Amino acid sequence: MDFFIQLLVNGLSVGFLYGISAMGFVMIFKSSSVLNFAHGELLAIGAYIFLVLVTWAQLPVYAAFLLTMLACFSLGFIIERLFLRPLIGEPLIFVIMLTVGLAAMFKGLILLIWGGNLHTFPDFLPEWLTFSWGAVTVQPVYSLALVVGLSFLALFGIFFKFSSQGIYMRSVADNQRAALSLGVNVKNVFALSWAIAALVAGLSGIILGIINGVNVHDLSAIGLKVFPVVILGGLDSIGGAIVGGLIIGLLETLTGGYISPSLRDVVPYIVLVVILMLKPYGLFGQVEIERV
């Protein structure tokens, strides 16, 4: 029973991290219906920038954190300006292939600069973030993750529902040409959504880095594990990303604990295929009536 509870706690915490990592991905999908295959590399870039600022430049943690966020936000803008703006109005397939190319490019670049070894952050989280209820103790990282995850969930919910930019984003995702002809500034929408997504990705990259250490192979694998998570949760639902992440995380640790450790990394993809078969729009995704 103890083993089960331990697996449960592990699974939920891993799953919550998947959920947070998936939020940036959903952000891009919701604003331009682009599947971003470079998401894992965005996670890794955030983590590595933070690593450099903390260990090499020896900046205080708060300054390093703010600078990383700023760098990720501008990186999103730069990616949009250099790579995505020329493709506005082109078929979606080009944009998606472009993200496949970007993923290979960024991964190669990171490996060339930092190599494939595992790096770790120094321990910097304050003690007061530790919570304990009876036997269960929540590590400071996880409470940080919880705060970040829930606040972004609320922020994104409000943003897409009420702000004009959020509504523009949904319109672009629905039909780019129609949005263009109705006067939506698609360039701004792309720029802003990539910048926000890169920022969220950087943030989740840092959190993942605190827990697992920073390694580009692991982080880009998580970037691909985002796909089962969002298919389960529903491609365009931010809350669904969190729920999907929790379920996938639980399934992973339970199969890892009870069936076979090697099956652990494949289970999410099996779930993906099953979900596509049974409930293709996921748990919370918007069902498109048109089926072509």
Partner 1 sequence: MKRRFIFHPCGNYHEKYEPQLNVYETDYGRLWTAVGIVMLFTMVPLTSSQYILYVVNSIGIAAIAAVGLNILIGYTGQISLGHGAFFGVGAYGAAYLATRWEIPFMLSVPAAGLIAALTGLIFGLPSSRLKGLYLTIATLAGQFIIEYVLIHWESVTQGTMGITLPTAKLLGLEITGDVRFFYVIFTLLILMLWMAVNLMRTKYGRAFVAIRDNDRAAEGMGISIFPYKLLAFAISSFYAGVAGAVWAYYTLSITTEPFNLGLSVEYIAMVIIGGMGSMSGAVFGAVFITGLNEILRWGTDLMMNMGLVSQLGLNMAPLREFVFGLAIVLFILFEPRGIAEVWRIVRSSFRLWPFSY
Please say which residue, 91 or 126, places its beta carbon nearer to partner 1. Answer: 91
CA distances 44 to 73, 104, 274, Å, are 14, 13, 29
Nearest distance from C-beta of residue 272 to partner 1, angstroms: 4
Please say which residue, 182 or 263, places its beta carbon nearer to partner 1. Answer: 263
Per-residue DSSP letter, 119: B
Q: Within 182-266, where are the H helices? A: 186-212, 216-233, 238-258
Nearest distance from C-beta of residue 124 to partner 1, angstroms: 29
Nearest distance from C-beta of residue 14 to partner 1, angstroms: 18
Please say which residue, 135 or 277, places its beta carbon nearer to partner 1. Answer: 277
Residue 8, judged by CB atoms within 10 A of its CB (0-12, 13-18, 19+), counts as middle
Name the residues that contact partner 1, by CB under 8 A: 33, 35, 83, 86-87, 90-94, 96-98, 100-109, 111-112, 116, 224, 227-228, 231, 262-263, 265-266, 269-270, 272-273, 276-277, 280, 288, 290-292
CB 103 within 8 A of CB 40: yes
Work out whether the CA dihedral 191, 240, 5, 225 comes out positive or negative: negative
Please say which residue, 4 or 90, places its beta carbon nearer to partner 1. Answer: 90
Please say which residue, 64 or 236, places its beta carbon nearer to partner 1. Answer: 236
Of the candidates 99, 159, 181, 204, the residue with the CA atom closest to the CA atom of residue 170? 159
Nearest distance from C-beta of residue 271 to partner 1, angstroms: 9
Nearest distance from C-beta of residue 202 to partner 1, angstroms: 20
